[in-house]
C-alpha cells in the first residue's frame, strides 16, 4: 500500500515539516532507511540517524529539537513509537484475510464455525467446538473438543489448543504455542514412585491477549488457569497450572511461572524471571531480567531486581558492597596474616 506524508499526518493527527506529497510504500528502521520508506525516531540512542537516514518520511516526537537541517520529511506526533504502531495496525487491518476451509482440513460435524473463517491445510477442529467470526486458523493447528474461540482471533501454524479451553476475541497465538497441556502434578508414593494427578481443569484466555511462539500454558488441576484481557506473553514462556495473570501484564521470553501463583494487572517481567508457586504479586510490579521471586510481593508498583528479589533501591545500595567484596576479602586475609604473626593484637 502507498501513502503520502499528508495522508499519514491526517491519520495520526501530526504536523508535517517538509514535502507533504512525498510517498511511502514500505517501512524501515531509521538506520536502514531507503527512499520510499517510513521510519520513526523514539529512542534517543538513534538520534544521530535522523541526519543520515534515506527514509522518505520519519515520525518524531513533537518536542524533538533538530540540531542540523535535514532533507527527510518529518511528521511530528505526540508519541512517535505509539503512532508508528497505530499506523502499522491500520495497514494490517486493511489486508483482506482468507476465508475458506481447506479441503485437507478436518472439522468435526458437531462443531460450529462463524462467518469468514479460514482453516488451513491439515488443521483439525474437534467435536462440539465453537469458532467465532473472522477467525484465522493456519495449517497444522490442533483444536480439541469443546473449545471456544472468539471473534477475530488468529492461530498461527502449529498451535495446539487442548480440549475445553476458551480463547477470547482479538487474540493472537503464535506458532508452536500449546494451550491446555497437563499441569505438572504428581503425588509421591511410598515406594518412591510418582502417581499422576489428573488435570481436569482448563485454560481461559480473555480478549486481546497475544501469546508468543512455543509458549506453554498448562491447564488447571481443577478450575482454570486464567490469562486476563490485554496480557502480552513473549516466546518460550511457561505458565503452570492454576496460575492467573492480571490484565495488561507484559512478560518477556523464558519466564517461568509456577503453579497457583496470582499476578496482578499492569505488571512487567523481564526475560528469564522465575516465579515460585502459590504466591501473590501486586499490581504494577516490575521485575528486572533474571529476577527470582520466592515469596509474595505485596507492594504495588515496586521494581525488583536479583535472586532472591529485592527492591531496586536496596539492590543498588547492596551492589556497591558486592563490588567491594574481593577487596574486603584481601584486606581481611592481610589482617589475619598480621594477627597470626603477632604483629597485630586484637583488644
DSSP string, 301-347: T-EEETTTTEEHHHHHHHHHHHHHHHHHHHHHHHHHHHHHTTSS---
Q: Is 102 a catalytic residue?
A: no
* Average pLDDT over every residue of 312-335: 84
* Average pLDDT over every residue of 203-226: 98
Average pLDDT, rounded, for the chain: 94
Alpha helical stretches, state H, the chain: 5-12, 80-94, 312-340
Enter the C-alpha cell of residue 285: 510490579
pLDDT at 346: 64
pLDDT at 322: 76
Q: What is the pLDDT of residues 9-37, one digit of tens each?
A: 999 999 999 999 999 999 999 999 999 99
pTM of the model: 0.84
pLDDT at 230: 98
Backbone angles phi, psi at 96, to 5 degrees: -70, 120
Catalogue all structural domains in the chain, each as residue range(s) with its CATH number: 3-94 (3.40.1390.10), 159-308 (2.160.10.10)
Q: What is the pLDDT of residues 273-316, one digit of tens each?
A: 999 999 999 999 999 999 999 999 999 999 999 999 999 888 87
Name which residue leads in pLDDT, 91 or 140: 140
Q: Residue 47, exposed/middle/buried by CB under 10 A (0-12, 13-18, 19+)?
A: middle
**Active-site annotation holder among 68, 102, 174, 241:** 241
Q: Which residues, 6+ apart, have CB-to-CB distance to 316 below 8 Å?
A: none
Residue with cell 526475560: 271
Amino acid at each position: 500500500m502507498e501513502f503520502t506524508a499528508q495522508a499519514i499526518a491526517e491519520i495520526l493527527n501530526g504536523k508535517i515539516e517538509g514535502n507533504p506529497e512525498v510517498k511511502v510504500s514500505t517501512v524501515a528502521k531509521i538506520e536502514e532507511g531507503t527512499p520510499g520508506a517510513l521510519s520513526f525516531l523514539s529512542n534517543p540512542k538513534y538520534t544521530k540517524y535522523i541526519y543520515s537516514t534515506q527514509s522518505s518520511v520519519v515520525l518524531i516526537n513533537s518536542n524533538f529539537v533538530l540540531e542540523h537541517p535535514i532533507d527527510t520529511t518529518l511528521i511530528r506526533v505526540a508519541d512517535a513509537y505509539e503512532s508508528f504502531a497505530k499506523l502499522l495496525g491500520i495497514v494490517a487491518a486493511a489486508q483482506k484475510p482468507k476465508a475458506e476451509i481447506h479441503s485437507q482440513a478436518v472439522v468435526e460435524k458437531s462443531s460450529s464455525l462463524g462467518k469468514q473463517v479460514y482453516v488451513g491445510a491439515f488443521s483439525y477442529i474437534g467435536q462440539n467446538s465453537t469458532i467465532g467470526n473472522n477467525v484465522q486458523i493456519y495449517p497444522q493447528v490442533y483444536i480439541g473438543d469443546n473449545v471456544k474461540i472468539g471473534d477475530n482471533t488468529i492461530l498461527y501454524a502449529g498451535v495446539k489448543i487442548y480440549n475445553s479451553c476458551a480463547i477470547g476475541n482479538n487474540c493472537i497465538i503464535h506458532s508452536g504455542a500449546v494451550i491446555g497441556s497437563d499441569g505438572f502434578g504428581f503425588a509421591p508414593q511410598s515406594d518412591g514412585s510418582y502417581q499422576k494427578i489428573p488435570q481436569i481443569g482448563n485454560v481461559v484466555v480473555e480478549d486481546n491477549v497475544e501469546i508468543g511462539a512455543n509458549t506453554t500454558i498448562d491447564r488447571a488441576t481443577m478450575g482454570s488457569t486464567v490469562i486476563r484481557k490485554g496480557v502480552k506473553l513473549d516466546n518460550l514462556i511457561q505458565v503452570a497450572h492454576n496460575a492467573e495473570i492480571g490484565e495488561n501484564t507484559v512478560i518477556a521470553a523464558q519466564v517461568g511461572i509456577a503453579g497457583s501463583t496470582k499476578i496482578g494487572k499492569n505488571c512487567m517481567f523481564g526475560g528469564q524471571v522465575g516465579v515460585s508457586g502459590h504466591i501473590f504479586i501486586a499490581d504494577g510490579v516490575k521485575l528486572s531480567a533474571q529476577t527470582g521471586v520466592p515469596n509474595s510481593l505485596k507492594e504495588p508498583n515496586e521494581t525488583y531486581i536479583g535472586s532472591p528479589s529485592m527492591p531496586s533501591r536496596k539492590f543498588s545500595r547492596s551492589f556497591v558492597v558486592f563490588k567491594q567484596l574481593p577487596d574486603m576479602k584481601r584486606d581481611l586475609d592481610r589482617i589475619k596474616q598480621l594477627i597470626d604473626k603477632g604483629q597485630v593484637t586484637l583488644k
